[in-house]
């Protein structure tokens, strides 16, 4: 396995949400890629405390990662804002026992179960045959309904030949208003506050996946009006480096151009983060999958940011 361009990967998913690696596989793949700092940021779920090894042994997850040469940071990627797509906030370094975080996760699960069950019903009604059981099957594993993510629906649509891949399936669902079942999402300003009260730092993921014009607090405004409001509210960081060319992004400029633009806009205001949004979609035959450490930070960049450096525990491996 080739070494990653960036040693610090601050945006990665597992089967705990919509990724395809188990936490063990994520750690092993990160180790093989030369990742030294890895943030596990599954969608809307409290991050796991343990990892199950192939022999059935259960280990504390950060200790195991440390033995594999990785400082693992437990995190979460919150989906925010009911009426704006792709406003995702990454929380790192929180006290994951904080009742406020657990309650927020519970409310999100309830809204997902209701909305995604209705989405599947509407797809069936329009001739897209799938069952909830199929959506909850990942490889040879069954995931609980509480861990259901919308991307799983897109994956099944692609597997059944209704789309060439999950990205095309997402467009199919997104562009037909009949399938636009809105689920209640928390406000992003509220999530910034909740993350801070839990002792963590709040980072906005993939800012340019947010549409150029959005409905914010009842008014249509430019994207940067929202981003500036988040910064003014206490946002800590923003993803500058991101795999825009490997997902659905309306901005077709080279990703490096977007990276530079984000860095210029946030300079001196919040720190620039980076992550690949790794899901290991290669397992499902994706032709151009996002790779671990394809986007991220160098070790030097990571340690130069005080709020990130405070989360660093040198690995023993």
Go through the domains of the chain in sequence order and give each one's CATH number: 8-309 (3.20.20.140)
Whether residue 293 has pLDDT greater than 80: yes
Neighbours of 48 (CB within 10 A): 17
Asked if 273 and 263 touch (Cβ cutoff 8 Å), the reply is no
Average pLDDT, rounded, for the chain: 95
Whether residue 121 has pLDDT greater than 80: yes
Whether residue 285 has pLDDT greater than 90: no
Q: Phi/psi class of residue 154: alpha, beta or left (left: φ > 0; alpha: ψ in -120 to 50)?
A: alpha
Which alpha helices (DSSP H) does the chain contain, by range?
A: 23-32, 61-67, 99-125, 132-135, 150-159, 166-174, 188-197, 223-233, 255-266, 299-303, 306-309
Mean pLDDT of 199-226: 97
Residue-level pLDDT at 166: 86
Instruction: Name the range with the highest mean pLDDT among 12-21, 145-154, 256-265.
Output: 256-265
* DSSP letter assigned to residue 3: P
Residue-level pLDDT at 245: 95
Mean pLDDT of 275-303: 95
pTM: 0.90
Per the listing, tokens 């999100």 go with 108
Going by pLDDT thresholds of 50, 70 and 90, the confidence category of residue 268 is very high
Mean pLDDT of 242-263: 96
Mean pLDDT of 112-130: 94
What is the β-pairing status of strands 87-92 and 271-274? unpaired
Cα 204 off chain centre by: 10
Mean pLDDT of 241-265: 96
Whether residue 286 has pLDDT greater than 90: no
Whether residue 301 has pLDDT greater than 80: yes
Segment holding 78, helix H or strand E: strand 71-80
């Amino acid at each position: 396995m080739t070494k990653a361009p960036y040693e610090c990967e601050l945006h990665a998913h597992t089967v705990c949400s919509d990724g395809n690696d188990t936490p063990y596989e994520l750690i092993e793949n990160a180790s093989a890629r030369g990742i030294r700092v890895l943030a596990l940021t599954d969608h809307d779920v409290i991050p796991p405390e343990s990892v199950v090894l192939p022999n059935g042994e259960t280990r504390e997850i950060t200790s195991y990662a440390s033995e594999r040469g990785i400082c693992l940071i437990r995190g979460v990627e919150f989906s925010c804002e009911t009426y704006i797509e792709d406003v995702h906030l990454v929380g790192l370094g929180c006290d994951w026992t904080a009742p406020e975080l657990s309650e927020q996760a519970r409310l999100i699960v309830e809204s997902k179960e209701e909305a995604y069950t209705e989405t599947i019903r509407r797809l069936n009604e329009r001739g897209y045959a799938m069952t909830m059981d199929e959506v909850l099957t990942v490889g040879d594993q069954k995931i609980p309904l509480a861990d259901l993510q919308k991307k799983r629906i897109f994956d099944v649509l692609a597997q059944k030949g209704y789309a060439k891949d999950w990205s095309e399936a997402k467009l199919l669902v997104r562009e037909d208003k009949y399938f636009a079942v809105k689920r209640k999402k928390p406000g992003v300003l509220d999530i910034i506050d909740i993350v801070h009260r839990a002792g963590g730092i709040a980072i906005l993921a993939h800012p340019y996946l947010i549409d150029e014009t959005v409905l914010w607090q009842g008014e249509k405004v430019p994207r940067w009006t929202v981003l500036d409001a988040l910064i003014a509210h206490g946002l800590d960081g923003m993803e500058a480096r991101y795999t825009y060319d490997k997902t659905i992004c309306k901005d077709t400029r080279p990703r490096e151009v977007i990276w530079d633009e984000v860095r210029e806009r946030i300079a001196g205001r919040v720190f620039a983060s980076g992550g690949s949004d790794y899901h290991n979609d290669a397992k499902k035959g994706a032709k151009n999958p996002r790779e671990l450490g394809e986007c991220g930070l160098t070790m030097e960049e990571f340690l130069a940011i005080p709020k990130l450096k405070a989360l660093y525990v040198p690995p023993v491996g």
